[in-house]
Amino acid sequence: MMPFIEVTLTEGRTPEQIRTLISALTKAASESVDAPLASVRIVVREVPETHWAAGDVTIAERKQREGTP
């Protein structure tokens, strides 16, 4: 068994935050499906806020409209 987990996030997390996420996901997958830690694969993709949209509005546009950084 080789669990493969893909995560897509908007850019902006620190390397430490990404590392913590990888560790937590690896542990959760290993414990949940009784897979050896070494068999768990994690891919984290970071996407610019201008390349992620819902309802034809990007996250960057939504934040700009809401006045959030």
Active site residues: 3
What amino acid is encoded at 44 in this protein? Answer: V
